[in-house]
Amino acid sequence: MASDPTRSPTPTPAWHPRTTMVRSGLERSPNMETAEALYLTSGFVYPDADAARRAFDGSDSRFVYSRFRNPTNAVFETRLAALEGAAICRATASGMAAVTAALLCQVKAGDRVVAARSLFVSCHWVLTELLPRFGVTVELVPGTDLAAWRTALSQPAVCVFLESPANPALEVLDIPAVCDLAHAAGARVVVDNAFATPVLQRPLALGADVVVHSATKYIDGQGRCLGGAILTNDAAYDEEGLLPFLRNTGPCISPFNAWVMAKGLETLDLRVRAQCDSALALARALQGAPGVRAVRYPGLESHPQHALAMAQMDGRGGAMVALDLAGGQPAAFRFLDGLGLIDISNNLGDAKSLACHPATTTHQRLSVEEQAAQGITPGLVRLSVGLEDARDLIADVTRALEGV
């Protein structure tokens, strides 16, 4: 007997991630479209005044306004929640909207937050500039140093924030170990999972309480739209903190962008695995190449947290590669200018391979001391490995290195 054709088959726990990515969250309209419908609408109408009253007093669950909820946004949220193993997903306008909301919704003056030092630079700003304005104390620790986490978390804290692998020097943090220490200090752990994606790493299963995403990166995967998401299984965090914060401050995603992200999820697994394969091939080719002081890639045996990365990231190193050029900034600039295929861009997670010099672009705002503490040397080049043939990427970097 045919099931209700307006619904996607009910997701079952037996579905593998690739099936979930294509099938979950779909609710067809009476038009029976194949692809997910795009509900580009800000509001919704009611058949009569009492229906509107019932929608607002909560006796009817329905869409009332797209700042609160939207059917297209719900497809993206349901699909990403299934992948991350989360009961709750709230989509946002950008990754930074997600990070800011995930933190601000749970802190108040007098609270203490502990975070890893190596951070996406806007996350660093939110933690070190924004939160202290409201009387929140923030302490940064070297993320790979468990003794430093233990010391920082020997005092109570409300929240711990980290990303792994960390941007741009690609250190890998021990998520279960940090979660244990954080929970003993009474803190909720927020993990930025933008670099690993749920294909490689599911922080909630590793002990984290909240996951944040820049969907702009691998979830879109083709450099088109900004978007973000916050995921959790902590109903109290959502009901008391996150949901009222999002509904009343309005960092919601556009339904158009949510539609692009939902479609992006359909190919995420294939793309990320292919990009990881190319990244490993590229990292191997760069290791020991003339002019290259070090290659930092979690998939290489030479990476200081290689074993941890393999255990925590499904045996893969991710699709970001960092290389430290012996000739410092002049060598890094000559390398970037010598690339013919790979574009110079501060973005990442695109189908197109991209390269940047963090010290003079993304992380320019940091002092030289802070850059050094985060492993951002003058010769550091960050590569976001895309979907081109790995042989063409290796040829491009090899040619560029010859000009250094």
Ligand X SMILES: *Cc1c(COP(=O)(O)O)cnc(C)c1O
Query: Where do contacts with ligand X occur on this chain (CB under 6 A)?
Result: 94-96, 99, 120, 122-123, 163, 167, 192, 194-195, 214, 216-217, 226, 228
When the beta carbons of 158 and 226 are compared against ligand X, the nearer one is: 226
When the beta carbons of 8 and 254 are compared against ligand X, the nearer one is: 254
Rounded least distance, CB 192 to ligand X, Å: 5
3-state secondary structure of 283: helix
When the beta carbons of 291 and 298 are compared against ligand X, the nearer one is: 298
When the beta carbons of 96 and 292 are compared against ligand X, the nearer one is: 96
When the beta carbons of 93 and 332 are compared against ligand X, the nearer one is: 93
Rounded least distance, CB 109 to ligand X, Å: 25
- Which H or E element spans position 390? helix 390-402
Rounded least distance, CB 102 to ligand X, Å: 11
Contact 266, 22 (CB under 8 A): yes
Distance between CA atoms of 385 and 339, rounded to whole angstroms? 14
Reduced 3-state DSSP string for 207-231 = CCCEEEEECCCCCCCCCCCCCEEEE
When the beta carbons of 19 and 122 are compared against ligand X, the nearer one is: 122
46, with CB counted inside 10 A (0-12, 13-18, 19+), is middle
Rounded least distance, CB 46 to ligand X, Å: 35
Name the closest residue to ligand X (Cβ).
95
Rounded least distance, CB 215 to ligand X, Å: 7
Rounded least distance, CB 296 to ligand X, Å: 16
Tokens in use for 39? Answer: 């509900």
Rounded least distance, CB 389 to ligand X, Å: 25
Distance between CA atoms of 286 and 296, rounded to whole angstroms? 10
Distance between CA atoms of 116 and 166, rounded to whole angstroms? 9
When the beta carbons of 161 and 331 are compared against ligand X, the nearer one is: 161
Rounded (5°) CA angle 205-206-207? 90
Count of CB atoms situated within 10 Å of the CB of 37: 16
Q: Write phi, then psi, for 92 (nearest 5 degrees).
A: -135, 170
